[in-house]
A and B are shown apart, each in its own frame.
Chain A
Amino acid sequence: MQPILEERASRPPRLNGGAGGGAAGRAGDAVLLVASAAAAALIVLMLVVILVDALIHGAGTVSFAFLTKPPSGGMMAGGVGPAIFGTAALTIVMTIAVVPVGVLTAIYLSEYASPSSRLARIVRLAVANLAGVPSIVFGLFGLGFFIQAIGRGIDRVAFGGQVTYGQPALVWAALTLSILTMPVVIVATEEALRAVPRSLRDASLALGATKFQTTFNVVVPQALGGILTGAILAVSRGAGEVAPILFTGAAFFLPELPTNLNDQFMHLGYHVYVLATQSPDVDRTKPILYGSVLVLLGLTFALNFVAVIIRARTRRGAAARA
């Protein structure tokens, strides 16, 4: 045993430049400590820089009027009201689409599929790969599948070929986003369901409850905190994504708020992109740009914060039960 241990101990020093012995090993420890702490500090620093930068330049802009008024003066004045509305509408429709499908998929994977089931393996593989697809690809997919295939199909069948749904629209953008965020919901829900002890399921089944009753009366309520956390994380991820909605429904500027599922909409993230790249006068747009960034950040952080609180509460609950 002894020689092997010595061999191990001498490895970091070799990477360090050849000094030998235990002292150098300890020096390696110190280096690693400093390096890892610095890396961790760097992450925090980045977040602080982003926040401070957005606050310094944007805080002066954000007011009640800014949050409610539409942009005006060639996007160089006014507010982000319609963009907030559009983001909210998009996120709500997305949530309605993603949560039921995601939760049901997770229930299938966790409660119904046998561990050796081939279908379950394929679903898990698909979910894992879906999570790795670049978001711009989702945008193109949404354009090709939802708008060109399904939307045009609906138009042909129900509207006599008149373009009604076969164009970028709130519903298509929301569905595209829901596919992007689906893995988050599925993985979080499945984990939450798996964390429910088997003894609870057994206790319910042994009382003559059916699997369905057991799942919906015992397992899902117990996992609700985790499921909600997953849903909120998905929402906050979806609220900030721009690439998937570029071609599927987001509009540069709209004089009116969307009222139908097949209307286009303004979106905070896209608005930021537009202000940053399409403005005729960058300097005059800057305060509004930073204000929009601040609002977008605030919205996302608020959602993440809610998710953290829910998770902490469920943890406490679980600890109290254990």
Chain B
Amino acid sequence: MIEDLSNGTTGPRGKLAVRGLDVFYRVEKPKKGQPGENQALKAVDLDVGVNEVLALIGPSGCGKSTFLRVLNRMNDTVPGARVAGSVTLDGEEILAPKYDVVGLRRRVGMVFQRPVAFPKSIFDNVAYGLRAHGLSEKRELEWRVQQALTRAALWDEVKDRLDANGLGLSGGQAQRLCIARALAVEPEVLLMDEPTSALDPIATAKLEELIAELREELTIVIVTHSMQQAGRVSQRTAFFYMGSLVEVGTTRDVFTRPREPRTEDYISGRFG
């Protein structure tokens, strides 16, 4: 059970601490009188605790995916994106220009909305990150691939066809393959961007179960459009609206007695 979360902003023992985070996207060909940048996140303060699942909810375009992509600096790949403020991982500033981004992404893994298997074998998919990090010893690779697939609850389904192409997997299997791929490099934090939006209900249930298990070993931040999902998998929930963090607290509090009227409106389905 998680300790005091009364104010909600700071979770249990901090893993990630975000302070005054602003994110801007450049507007291509701005119209007259329009600013050259769009602010996607405004002064966000938010902590993520060790071994917790933090759910990010809010209507489309509210900045929750942007927030997620800041945490492993995937926003660096967006041309014209600008980030200001502070994000620390175990106390270390990750937004510093000289910070080792490649190393950061090994510690903070990511699972995307649509499962994207590489057009390689299942084995090579899972081994991809390990190989990228210079691991080439065959038995070590095999062992880690098996571990990762087991943790992602996919091993039993694919153990006899590790050489088959990863593209041949079903949507739910492909998403678990992506999770195995991310787990193989043993990240400390796993970011999930609507990981079940492309999956059927059974695959979704499986994945949610998996999230609950993974929580024992790592910290998870999950973006979801499903209120029920946030309720099922997360300990704390943060509600984003129009680039601002409106409210964050224990999932139970946010859903049963939200402090902000906007949160209540969103949760009760009045907009979004």
Contacts and interface: CB of A to CB of B under 8 A. Distances in A.
Interface in B76-113: 77, 79, 102-106, 109-110, 112
Contact of A209 (B74, B129, B167, B182): B129
Q: Is the interface of B mostly helix, strand, loop or mixed?
A: helix
B132 interface: yes
A205 B167 CA distance: 19
Contacts of A204: 118, 128, 132
Nearest to A201: B77
Contact of B79 (A115, A206, A222): A115
B225 interface: no
A37 interface: no
Contact of A207 (B77, B79, B103, B185): B185
Nearest to A209: B132
Given A199-B114, A222-B119, A205 B74 contact: yes
Given A206-B72, A207-B129, A208-B104, 7 more contacts: A199-B114, A203-B178, A205-B77, A206-B109, A206-B112, A208-B129, A209-B102
A114 B114 CA distance: 26
Nearest to A322: B167
A320 interface: yes
B181 A207 contact: yes
A202 interface: yes
B79 A114 contact: yes
Interface in A188-214: 197-210, 213
A36 interface: no
A60 interface: no
Nearest to B132: A209
Interface of B: 72, 74, 77, 79, 102-106, 109-110, 112, 114, 116, 118-119, 128-129, 132-133, 167, 178, 181-182, 185
Nearest to A213: B132
Interface of A: 114-116, 197-210, 213, 217-218, 221-222, 317, 320-321
A221 B119 CA distance: 9
Contacts of A114: 79
Q: A-B pairs with the 9 shortest C-beta distances?
A: A207-B129, A208-B106, A209-B132, A206-B110, A208-B105, A203-B116, A199-B116, A213-B132, A321-B167
B79 A218 contact: no
Contact of B128 (A116, A209, A317): A209
27 contacts: A115-B79, A197-B116, A198-B77, A202-B74, A202-B112, A202-B116, A203-B116, A203-B118, A203-B178, A204-B128, A205-B105, A206-B74, A206-B109, A206-B110, A207-B129, A207-B182, A208-B103, A208-B104, A208-B106, A208-B132, A208-B133, A209-B129, A210-B102, A210-B132, A217-B128, A222-B119, A321-B167
Contact of A320 (B102, B116, B132, B167): B167
Nearest to B106: A208
Nearest to B184: A207
A217 B118 CA distance: 10
A79 B182 CA distance: 63
A114 to B, nearest CB: 6
